[in-house]
Amino acid sequence: MVYEKEAYIARLAVQKAAYLTRAVSEKILADKASNTITKEDKSPVTVGDFSAQAIIINAIKTNFPNDEIVGEEDGHDLTINADLSNKILAELTKNDELYNSKFQIKDELLGQNFKSTDQIIKVIDQGNSEGGNKGRYWALDPIDGTKGFLRGDQYAICLALIKDGKVELGVIGCPNLPDSFDSPSYKGGLFTGIKSQGSFYTKLYDEKITENLGERIFMKNSLKSTSELKVCEGVEKGHSSHDDQFKIKTLLNIPNGQTLNLDSQVKYCSLSKGLAELYLRLPVNFQYREKIWDHAAGNILITESGGKVSDMYGNELDFGKGRYLDSHGVIACNSQFHSEVIKAVKETIKS
């Protein structure tokens, strides 16, 4: 199988990071102030974000030392915040022991255990690649949906392998995603999409990751009309234009009760598993540019499960432009109705 080792290591690393984020989430909910800082762009970043990025970069660099990484976080704030750095080291040390023991993982498989805060900062700062349309690199969002994470709601750990500007592999861990929104029996999903091989799902927790990718999953492409489309949208109104999205749904005759408001790339995962069929993300303003780590892994999950992803005009997303997408909006839909959705989008933005 092409990318067999890459998929195996990526899935292990995402699972290991998910165990840590689940463990620290209760502490953060109880004491956000001492476990969270605010970045220059006013967005929050937590012990979980930094720790997850350290775990995943450590694993990637250990197994694929020549690969670059486009990561969301950098270690600058940790150099001036010793208390937060020490908390991260403590959580990483505890998680190394628990995870490696639970699944009999050899330390060297995912990188040597962290021994100092300086080592953590050095690893986190290896996520400084600018990306582009040449070579191999990974796009990493250690906690996508940090605000959801801070609420104890939906968030995702997202990792994608990009080669010459094209997404080849995507892995997303969704710690709080139920197996069903109607009658959930299990919480936590691990999603994998591999170019020309399909999209797959397995439980995120309690099961040892192997080369077996799990259950093949598909989007629903047998609806009678657009009125049956179930829609995913973001929770934060500052991230997408809910007003424009309401107009689009009205044009498509989609009832109000068929919209799920979810943080993060959990939305892509929900579509790929057949829990919904349409994801709308219309820009609040045209100056905003999407980051590649917010969409790369989700993009391949959709295309490999029978759907289409585009900007608001119907063009494919180009992940070879650097750390940002050079386009506006994101529309993900089943193949059956993607073109009709784009027509409704164009009609809405013209009015």
What is the tens place of the pLDDT at every residue in 108-135?
899 999 999 999 999 999 999 999 999 9
Q: Of all residues in the chain, what percent carry a pLDDT higher than 90?
A: 87
Q: 3-state DSSP: the chain helix, strand, coil percent, rounded to 5?
A: 40, 25, 35
Active site residue 146: yes
Tell me which DSSP letter residue 315 carries. P
State the average pLDDT over residues 308-322: 98
Please give the model's pTM, rounded to 2 decimal places.
0.97
Active site residue 303: no
Per-residue model confidence as pLDDT tens digits over 228-282? 999 999 998 888 999 999 999 999 999 999 999 999 999 999 999 999 999 999 9
Residue positions in the annotated binding site for Mg(2+)?
A: 72, 141, 143-144, 294
Pairing of strands 278-281, 259-261: unpaired
**E strand or H helix that includes residue 342:** helix 338-350
Per-residue confidence band for 183, with pLDDT thresholds at 50, 70 and 90 = confident
Q: Identify the active-site residue in 21, 36, 49, 74.
A: 49
Give the residue among 208, 257, 207, 213 at the shortest CA–CA distance from 231. 257
Per-residue model confidence as pLDDT tens digits over 188-219? 999 999 999 999 999 999 889 999 999 999 99
Q: Of all residues in the chain, what percent carry a pLDDT higher than 70?
A: 100
CA-CA-CA-CA torsion sign (322, 326, 330, 335): negative
What domains can be seen in the chain, in order of their start residue? Answer: 4-217 (3.30.540.10), 226-350 (3.40.190.80)
Per-residue model confidence as pLDDT tens digits over 58-89? 999 999 999 999 999 999 999 999 999 999 99
Q: Identify the active-site residue in 21, 46, 146, 202.
A: 146
Residue positions in the annotated binding site?
A: 72, 141, 143-144, 294
Q: From CA 52, how far away is CA 142, in angstroms rounded?
A: 5
Task: Report the pLDDT value the prediction gives residue 312, as an integer from 0 to 100.
Answer: 98
